[in-house]
Structure formats: C-alpha cells, structure tokens
C-alpha cells in the first residue's frame, strides 16, 4: 500500500499552483488593450463629444436668438410709448419735403416731425411751436432730435435741441402720411424686417385747446 501524502506537501502543491495561475493572469492583463480596442474607444468618445458639442451650440444659438428678439420687443414697446406720448402733445405731424431738419440733428433721413405747442404768444394769441424730429440712419435705428425730456416726462423747452439715439435695434417707418396730419400711423420693425408693432398715435393738443 502507498503511504499517505503528508498534508504539508498537499498544501505546498496547491499553493504553488495558485501562484502560477495568479502570475499567469497578471501576465495576460499586462498585455493591455489592442489597437483595435483603443480605436473603438476613441471613435465612441469622438461621436459622443460631437453630439454634445452640437447640442450645446444649438442651445446657445437659441438662447441668443431669444434674447435678441426679447430686446427688440422691449425696445419697440418703449418707442411706442414715447411716440404715443409725444404725438398726443402735438398739433401736427410733418413729413419729409415739408420741413427742413436743422444741422444740430446731424446726419439721418427724416421720418417725420412734430409741432408741439408751448405757451401762448400774447400778441398773436397763438402758441409758440417747438419741433421734434425723428430720423433713421443708413444702417437703421431711430434718432430723436428736439427739446430734451426731463425726469417728469415733460419737455425742457428752455434748453437747446439735442440729438439722441432712441434705439439701434429697430427701425421706424410711416405707414400713412399727409401734410398737416394729426394722426401718425407707423410701423416698428427689427433690422432684419420682423414687424414688431403697427401703431397709431393721435395729436390731441389742438383738440384740447
């Protein structure tokens, strides 16, 4: 009969086999990834990065477009309020060909002008008129030239005429015109042609007097 194998020998054999398997696994893992595997990873990362970049660019463009449209709408509302207020204080709306723009107003094409009365001339019984001009530049935008507006919203008739930019984001055009008209029909548009406001303002100063 065979003599039994000592337990220490069995343990030594199992231990040595386990170490060989462990080192063999390390040797296999030490080879790293193949070139094909690396290329696949690079391609996948590139596709994900491209999709993410495209998504972020689209979101940024939409955000800027919305911000620009919102700014144009706000400008149109502000200009509409100014026009409605100032036209309501006027007697007449005057158009190109019937009025000369003073040099203080600078360069620009006249859109319309307003005759705004202030105080009465005792000798004639007629009011003194002050004129406000609205012009547009070659690249669009709206310029107002006339007596400055004070904090209360009234005109400072004692000061000289000044020229100031009302908006550089929108343009102003007259829809209906006529000599000595008391109604102003106008259109406010973005510089790329998007219609923002179709408005109508009424001169009420003469009616009030």
What distance in Å separates the CA atoms of residue 113 and residue 83, rounded to the nearest whole number? 11
Is the pTM above the cut of 0.75? no
What distance in Å separates the CA atoms of residue 122 and residue 120, rounded to the nearest whole number? 6
Residue 24 maps to a domain: no
Domain that holds residue 183: 68-208
Q: What percent of the chain has pLDDT over 90?
A: 10
pLDDT, tens only, 109-164:
999 999 888 877 666 767 788 889 999 987 788 999 988 887 777 777 778 888 88
3-state secondary structure 37-103: HHHHHHHHHHHHHHHHHHHHHHHHHHHHHHHHHHHHHHHHHHHHHHHHHHHHCCCEEECCCCCCCCH
Residue 50 maps to a domain: no
Residue 106 maps to a domain: yes
CA dist 125 to 107, 119, 120, 155, 203, Å? 36, 10, 6, 22, 20
Q: In what order do the strands lie in the sheet with 92-94?
A: 92-94, 109-120, 127-137, 140-146, 162-167
Residue 144 maps to a domain: yes
pLDDT, tens only, 98-108:
888 989 888 88
Residue 8 maps to a domain: no
Residue 122 maps to a domain: yes
Q: In what order do the strands lie in the sheet with 183-190?
A: 170-176, 183-190, 195-202
Residue 12 maps to a domain: no
Residue 32 maps to a domain: no
pLDDT, tens only, 64-120:
777 878 888 888 898 899 898 888 888 888 888 888 898 988 888 999 999 888 877
> For residues 169 and 141, is the Cβ–Cβ distance under 8 A?
yes
Average pLDDT, the chain: 78
> For residues 166 and 81, is the Cβ–Cβ distance under 8 A?
no
Measured from the Cβ of residue 90, the count of other Cβ atoms closer than 10 Å reads 25
CA torsion sign, 189 to 192 to 193 to 195? negative
Cα 47 to the chain's mean position, in Å? 33
- Please tell me the total count of domains within the chain: 1
């Amino acid at each position: 009969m065979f003599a039994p194998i000592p337990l220490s020998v069995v343990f030594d054999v199992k231990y040595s086999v386990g170490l060989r398997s462990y080192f063999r696994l390390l040797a296999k893992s030490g080879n790293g990834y193949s070139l094909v595997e690396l290329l696949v990873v690079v391609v996948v990362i590139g596709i994900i990065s491209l999709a993410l970049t495209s998504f972020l660019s689209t979101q940024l463009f939409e955000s800027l477009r919305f911000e620009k449209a919102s700014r144009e709408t706000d400008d149109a509302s502000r200009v509409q309020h100014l026009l409605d207020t100032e036209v309501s204080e006027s007697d007449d709306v005057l158009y190109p060909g019937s009025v000369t723009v003073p040099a203080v107003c600078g360069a620009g094409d006249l859109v319309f002008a307003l005759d705004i009365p202030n105080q009465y001339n005792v000798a004639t019984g007629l009011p003194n008129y002050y004129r406000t001009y609205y012009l547009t530049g070659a690249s669009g935008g709206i310029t107002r030239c006339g007596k400055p507006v004070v904090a209360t919203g009234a005109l400072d008739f004692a000061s000289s005429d000044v020229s100031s930019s009302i908006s550089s984001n929108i343009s102003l055009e007259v829809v209906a015109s006529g000599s000595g008209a008391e109604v102003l029909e106008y259109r406010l548009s973005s510089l790329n042609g998007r219609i923002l406001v179709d408005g109508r303002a009424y001169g009420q100063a003469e009616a009030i007097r």
